[in-house]
Structure 1
Amino acid sequence: MRYDQDFRSIPHVVRRAAATYGDRPALVDGDLRWSFRDLERHMTRAVRAALALGIAPGDRVGICAPNCAAWICAALAVQGAGGVVVPLNTRFKAAELAYILRRSGAKALFAAPFLGTDYTAELRKYEPELAALQTTVSLRGERGDADLDWEDFLAKGAAVDESTAHAAIDRITPDSVSDIMFTSGTTGHPKGVVLTHGQSLRAYGWMAEEYTFRAGDVFLVVPPFFHCFGYKAGWLASFLHGVTVVPMAVFDAARALELIERERVSIILGPPTIFSDLIAAPALARHDTSSLRISMTGGTTIPEPLIHAMKDELSFDIVMSAYGLTEASALATTTRLGDTPATVARTNGRQIPDVEVRIADEAGRALPAGEAGEIQVRGYTVTSGYWDDPEATTAAIGDDGWLRTGDIGHLDADGNLAVVDRKKDMFIVGGFNAYPAEIERLLLGYAPVAEAAVIGVPDDRLGEVGCAYLVLKPGARSTAPDVIAWSRANMANFKVPRHVRFVDHLPRNASRKILKHELRAAYEEQAYEENA
């Protein structure tokens, strides 16, 4: 099935699911239980409201909320009106959110308080910078600092006929832009990756089919909706195949085990830490996990013993691994049914249909199997470019269409990809991409710091965490706890360095580039001495 052509757009997926799956459960969020028909009805009402709010084709709209039914409904409302969703990382601080809203020219913002943070209230001080932002809508509870609460927003839709909403959905094509996913890069500022309805439907329709998603499955969606892992591999892939979605705002192993048993969850995708936490949870023995069937990890390697434990102790039949980056719709390779645990553990599988993956040298020449080089991707999943940033687009995508990922890897004789290093110095903290250049830029905002360099170092639980090497200004004083406390107040939690080292100077080459390999060697030597 050609999901981009047969389904056309993400809102059209919901309409088709309502016609196909009817009263089957589509969404379970606490006491909320919607069938696919309910979901379509709520979507249509929300699209009417978005049109009444003045959201027009191409308008960008931010969404900053935890995983919940309201996030999905807001996204469908924006996209149904022809708008473009700009998912916002709920772990970002106000300055980080304001940058993305300003850069995207967002016309509206849907937000819900999360973990003690009221995003609309926090963003008030940045109003002078957000000239395009006209309306804020609270997705949950009272209006607070937002212009409208959710019911106020929906009430506006009374002025728009239902037929007008359906006509707006009908105008969306597979080539229409569905979202701009902001991802950090080596420049230190997030860049907006432009993706279309057709790219997402085609990639994740195929993925869900390959992974054997089917009507009657129940998907506990743990990865956040602001990431393709939770949004596209999560609820979008589910609605394409009649799968029930159970959003989880904050992962807690004990709570997850309760939901697995109560809702008969059969699908969980996420970083390895989710599965290792479930296995280690004292409550595991008290809960029935026999419904679990499908799992996949992405963004990092998975130890082979964990794969066996996921099957033996959590009852999974299928364990997959995959590789992708936002610039390639977050899906380039994946293992397949029947692959051995060793293949799943040591590689991220083979290229998906109609997408090419190669390993290239510095000159862009393809390298043979077994040789390491830059991973490059070409095909329909690759973005048309970064939002309003032609220079970055040209630097990332060649005239021949090959996306330069900045990751280093090699292919084996069967075409399986193994990611072995990160050219861009990115490291992954519990499934979240962390970029040293961005963290370094933020650390320079801490008054005592003159210079900063960040590297990723091993961590037993999160895979990797940041270690910051800092040079203080003359006469300035600080401690590691001071730096960490300031970081927690000024950057997303996964970016916060877990280790801090103060040095008199940073090692540099003749071009003044910081020698990160020397910092890694210094960290390893110190860690060895401390553990000796």
Structure 2
Amino acid sequence: MDFLTFQANFRPDSLAVQDLTYDRSWSFSEYNLLVSKFSAYLLQRGIKQGDRVACVSKNRAEVVALHLACARCKAIFVPLNWRLALFEIESLLDDCEPSLVFGDEKAAEIGLAFEPIDNLISDTAAISGEDLIAFDDDAASLILYSSGTTGQPKGAIHTEATLMETVLNSTLLYEVDQHSVFLAESPMFHVIGLIASVRPVLYNGGRLVISDGFIPERTLERLSDSELGITHYFCIPQMANALRQEASFNPVNLKHLKALLTGGAPHPEVQIRRWLNDGIAIVDGYGMSETGSLLGMPHQLNLIDQSAGCVGTSPPRLTIRLLDEQGNIVKAGEPGEVQVKGANLFKGYWRKSALFNNSFTADGWFKTGDIARQNEQGFYRVVDRKKDMFISGGENVYPAEVEAVVLKHPQVFECAMIGVPDDKWGEVGCLFVVCNSDVKCLDLEGLNHYLASHLAKYKIPKSTVVLDVLPRNGAGKVLKHVLLESVA
């Protein structure tokens, strides 16, 4: 029995899913039946264990139902980034070779061949949904392609057992119960959108509210709606900052939120403290496609304030360690690569077994590629991606640490730094800046003077480029390889 079937038996008439875009809702018993119908339909279409079912669609109730239906018939759900170009999506389809491809208007816009996902409910109306094969926790049920900041996406394979670990970890980290109401706006081709925003709340008997995407003014209105009653909302720091920029922003209207959950990118302390000063728990966390939810901050404002910028501690069902370049456990406060062990870990990279094997240490720890420090309170702070670190004059430079300082400058809206070759120092920093909307021209001399008083000399970027926007992928992460190409 899966968690949705349990809740359908345990609280059949409780409201389970609301789809705001199409003004639809289902109780647990109704949504469980819908998933069963979808699963039976897939079997009728000849889907067998291990077959892939791809989906190119914005958030909607059918995406979640199709995902859960695939698990019930041992198929593998493959959600794809609808923001990609046709060539990019076709490359992923060539890689995963799906038996079926479902899509919406986003798939149609790029000329992709697909079956309309909005026909699924009508196409399955006459199906009973009762004759299903046995549920299997250990069968592969999901391939999540990475967000591709390196330009080389890879598909992380999960089973229902590994995904359940994320549910259990998230339940503790996010304080989820039957009264929780999650607004799911993060794209459902991403671990936050499809897993963290969906499964914990349904598992615990709460309510899932689905939105087709983030529009700051509309999102703020929904978060402020006391009747809708949202308790949890996932976003990246840039989205949280965009909410504060809205003319209608009033923190009083958000006091009912249990947590504004952020992740996916470094979160500057200055931005965190703006929320804390308004009495709102902005809770940073950390995870990835390969691991699900790994770390989370407590929800108490004073604890967040003491360790602002940290991403929290790990739940009891997994273990984390930090290792230096020589493979030694680092001392408290020192940087080291985050390595993970636990039943939450993915089972492989689709058709990339060598890459999967190389992602683990000899003693079985997954190498995340992220550098972090652990403070005296036991909370971790992600310093940077290991691959983003560069060495200038023999000193390690972590761009994210520099970016956090730059973001405190009054003229800077957002920024990113990369290492570029230098004849004298080996590598030096190149800073990319997006100015605040009221800044006509960046005071570069003033910025450099500010940085000189806040950073070691070797950390100060040697060049600065002003941009209108930073290049980002579908998950909101800055594409640093694109920035590097622009100055190569």
Shorter chain as denominator, the TM-score bin is 0.7 to 0.9
1:26 aligns with 2:4: no
- Alignment-mate amino acid for residue 275 of structure 1: A
Select 1:298's aligned residue among 253, 256, 263: 263
Q: Which ranges of structure 1 fall in alignment gaps of 5 or more residues? A: 1-7, 125-135, 141-148, 437-453, 462-479, 507-532
Select 2:103's aligned residue among 107, 111, 118: 111
Q: How does 1:447-458 map to 2 (within 5 A)?
A: 457-458=432-433
1:278 aligns with 2:267: no
**Which residue matches 1:154?**
124
Distance in 2 of aligned mates of 1:460 and 1:344 = 27
Find the residue that maps to 1:208 and give its secondary structure.
helix
Q: How does 1:432-471 map to 2 (within 5 A)?
A: 457-459=432-434
Contact 1:205 1:240 in 2 (8 A): no
1:163–1:287 CA distance, 2 compared to 1 (3 A): same
Select 1:334's aligned residue among 263, 278, 296: 296
Select 1:51's aligned residue among 43, 65, 68: 43
Contact 2:174 2:296 in 1 (8 A): no
1:150–1:411 CA distance, 2 compared to 1 (3 A): same
1:205–1:496 CA distance, 2 compared to 1 (3 A): closer
How many residues are matched?
422
- After superposition, give the CA deviation of every residue in 1:427-464 in whole Å (9 maximum; x if it has no partner): 999xxxx9x9xxxxxxxxxxxxxxxxx98845468xxx
- Alignment-mate amino acid for residue 363 of structure 1: Q
**Which residue matches 1:382?**
345
Q: How does 1:79-478 map to 2 (within 5 A)?
A: 79-114=71-106, 118=108, 122-124=111-113, 136-140=114-118, 149-151=119-121, 153-154=123-124, 158=127, 162-165=129-132, 168=133, 171-183=134-146, 188-260=151-223, 261=225, 262-285=227-250, 288-311=253-276, 313=278, 316=280, 318-329=281-292, 331-338=293-300, 340-425=303-388, 457-459=432-434
TM-fit CA distance, 1:150: 2.5
Provide the alpha-carbon RMSD of the alignment: 3.7
1:382–1:305 CA distance, 2 compared to 1 (3 A): same
Select 1:13's aligned residue among 3, 27, 32: 3
Find the residue that maps to 1:347 and give its secondary structure.
coil
Find the residue that maps to 1:162 and give its secondary structure.
coil
Distance in 1 of aligned mates of 2:430 and 2:72 = 42
1:273–1:185 CA distance, 2 compared to 1 (3 A): closer
Contact 2:53 2:70 in 1 (8 A): yes
- After superposition, give the CA deviation of every residue in 1:251-286 in whole Å (9 maximum; x if it has no partner): 112211332314121211211222222222112349
Distance in 1 of aligned mates of 2:330 and 2:481 = 37
TM-fit CA distance, 1:206: 3.0
1:396–1:110 CA distance, 2 compared to 1 (3 A): same
Distance in 2 of aligned mates of 1:213 and 1:106 = 34
- After superposition, give the CA deviation of every residue in 1:299-320 in whole Å (9 maximum; x if it has no partner): 223334433443554x63x432
Distance in 2 of aligned mates of 1:183 and 1:190 = 5
Distance in 1 of aligned mates of 2:481 and 2:250 = 32
1:500–1:297 CA distance, 2 compared to 1 (3 A): closer
Contact 1:214 1:242 in 2 (8 A): yes
Contact 2:74 2:136 in 1 (8 A): no
1:344–1:85 CA distance, 2 compared to 1 (3 A): farther
My pick for the range that moved more, 102-111 or 285-294, is 285-294
TM-fit CA distance, 1:392: 0.5
Contact 1:74 1:110 in 2 (8 A): no
TM-fit CA distance, 1:495: 7.0
Distance in 1 of aligned mates of 2:267 and 2:150 = 29
1:458–1:196 CA distance, 2 compared to 1 (3 A): farther
TM-fit CA distance, 1:86: 0.9
Find the residue that maps to 1:77 and give its secondary structure.
helix
Find the residue that maps to 1:26 and give its secondary structure.
strand
Q: Under a length normalisation based on structure 1, what TM-score does the superposition of the two structures give?
A: 0.70
Distance in 2 of aligned mates of 1:408 and 1:502 = 24
Distance in 2 of aligned mates of 1:455 and 1:18 = 55
Q: Which ranges of structure 2 fall in alignment gaps of 5 or more residues? A: 390-398, 404-415, 419-428, 437-464
Contact 2:70 2:141 in 1 (8 A): no
- After superposition, give the CA deviation of every residue in 1:51-96 in whole Å (9 maximum; x if it has no partner): 1111111111111111111211221222222111111112111111
Find the residue that maps to 1:265 and give its secondary structure.
coil
Distance in 2 of aligned mates of 1:231 and 1:373 = 30
- Alignment-mate amino acid for residue 216 of structure 2: A
Distance in 2 of aligned mates of 1:197 and 1:369 = 35
- After superposition, give the CA deviation of every residue in 1:488-511 in whole Å (9 maximum; x if it has no partner): 9x99997778997998x94xxxxx
TM-fit CA distance, 1:39: 0.7
1:355–1:49 CA distance, 2 compared to 1 (3 A): same
Contact 1:333 1:351 in 2 (8 A): yes
Find the residue that maps to 1:232 and give its secondary structure.
helix
Distance in 1 of aligned mates of 2:347 and 2:251 = 49
Distance in 1 of aligned mates of 2:479 and 2:295 = 30
Distance in 2 of aligned mates of 1:204 and 1:54 = 30
1:344–1:50 CA distance, 2 compared to 1 (3 A): farther
1:322–1:289 CA distance, 2 compared to 1 (3 A): closer
